[in-house]
Amino acid sequence: MEKKVSKIGVLTSGGDSPGMNAAIRAVVRTGLYHGLEMFGIMRGYQGMIEDDIYQMDSRSVANIIQRGGTILKTARCKEFFELEGRQKAYNNLKKRGIDGLVIIGGDGSFRGAVKFSQDFDIPCVGLAGTIDKDISGTDFTIGFDTAVNTAVEAIDKIRDTMDAHDRIFVIEVMGRDAGYIALHSGIATGAENILIPERKTNMNDLISSLLEKERRKKLVNLIVVAEGDEFGGGNNVQAILKEKLPNAEIRVCILGHIQRGGSPTCIDRLIASRMGYHAVESLIEGRHNVFVGILNNKMHYLPLQDAVKNKGKISDEWMKIVKILAS
């Protein structure tokens, strides 16, 4: 018979994402509702190793649902890659009697959780908190919707200048090695071209279409590039285009970390709240070493190690839509 969970630790790890606070709030309040003791672990796995852990009550998570970033702070932690580091972390949890962990982070944090759960007897549940949406098995990750909306708002503003000056704009968005932010924000802002790592881009075709537009004196063109694209991001794309289109005015804008911050959208608050609730339910029900995903608006649980499998799939239909709508 599985031992019942009584004390749960929650941490945020890797890159922060808007909605992490809403998830922490949901985890803590759901645990308290069930009479569990709840602990916040500061700076992800780093705080676990350094014993930077404190007990949380309902007030600890008051007034945070609307805030970006994470009250628990976050970090990338080299020591956790080594068994010795994970052993230190385990000892710190053990001495407090923490017998369940909720990890809010991206695929790297999930990899760490898989290692930890293989080494030690503390069950882990993951919540996908990343703007990149690079976790398979879920339609949403916490922070993606906010990041895309931030990108859309910024690109809309840039479009005004693009139109006023007849310019070509290359806009680089984040996403690490995933193109979802580029794809979603690009379609939503009517980009003529969207360059993403999951698809090869025929640069000759792209240049020909720009030259054709130049002939027709239509120099306005919006190109959204994912930072992880094959050409190496916005600056490189601008350099290639400048060489082939010496008469065109081509500007580049790298949106950068504005995409990671800000108050979470309603959708991010909602999925963070639902996922946080289900993470605790999952630990209570003895469903261990899984992550909580949402597919077709239904919550489901998948093994943590599956989160990082089969990434990089973007269906042909998406690309067809981009092409047709840009014509």
Nearer to ligand F6P, 96 or 261 (CB): 261
Strand partners, 254: 172
Q: Locate 66 and state its tokens.
A: 């609307």
SS (H, E, C) 151-190: HHHHHHHHHHHHHHHCCEEEEEECCCCCCHHHHHHHHHCC
Residue 96 amino acid letter: R
Beta strand 7-12 pairing with 168-173: unpaired
Residues 182-221, one symbol each (x = binds ligand F6P by CB under 6 A, - = not), give ----------------------------------------
Instruction: Tell the smallest beta-carbon distance from residue 233 to ligand F6P (Å).
Output: 10
State which of residues 100, 175, 233, 293 lies at the interface with ligand F6P (CB under 6 A).
175
Return d(Cα 134, Cα 177) in angstroms, integer. Answer: 8
**Using the rule CB under 6 A, is 120 a contact of ligand ADP?**
no
Residue 90 to residue 125: CA distance in whole angstroms:
16
Residue corresponding to tokens 């720009």: 210
Q: Is 15 in the site for ligand F6P (CB under 6 A)?
A: yes
Stretch that binds ligand F6P, among 58-66, 87-95, 96-104, 173-181 (CB under 6 A): 173-181
Amino acid making up residue 12: T
Catalytic annotation, pick one of 16, 99, 107, 132: 132
Size of the site for ligand ADP (CB under 6 A): 17
Q: Which one of 74, 130, 138, 149 is in contact with ligand F6P (CB under 6 A)?
A: 130
Residues 23-42 that bind ligand F6P (CB under 6 A): none
Chosen from ligand F6P, ligand ADP, none, partner binding at 151 (C-beta under 5 to 8 Å by type) = none
- Of the candidates 249, 83, 82, 58, the one whose C-alpha atom is nearest the C-alpha of residue 164 is 249
For CA atoms 267, 61, 136, 43, the dihedral sign is positive
Alpha helices in the chain (DSSP H): 20-33, 44-49, 83-96, 107-119, 144-165, 180-188, 203-215, 234-244, 266-284, 316-325
208 DSSP assignment: H
Q: Applying CB under 6 A, which part among 3-11, 42-50, 125-133, 271-279 lies near ligand F6P?
A: 125-133
| Interface with ligand F6P, residue 106, by CB under 6 A | yes
- Residue 132: active-site member: yes
The answer to the question of residue 45 lying near ligand ADP (CB under 6 A) is yes
Assess 144 for contact with ligand ADP (CB under 6 A): no
In the bound complex, what is the minimum distance in angstroms from residue 305's beta carbon to ligand F6P? 19
> Which residues are known catalytic residues?
132
Residues that bind ligand F6P (CB under 6 A): 15, 106, 130-132, 174-176, 227, 260
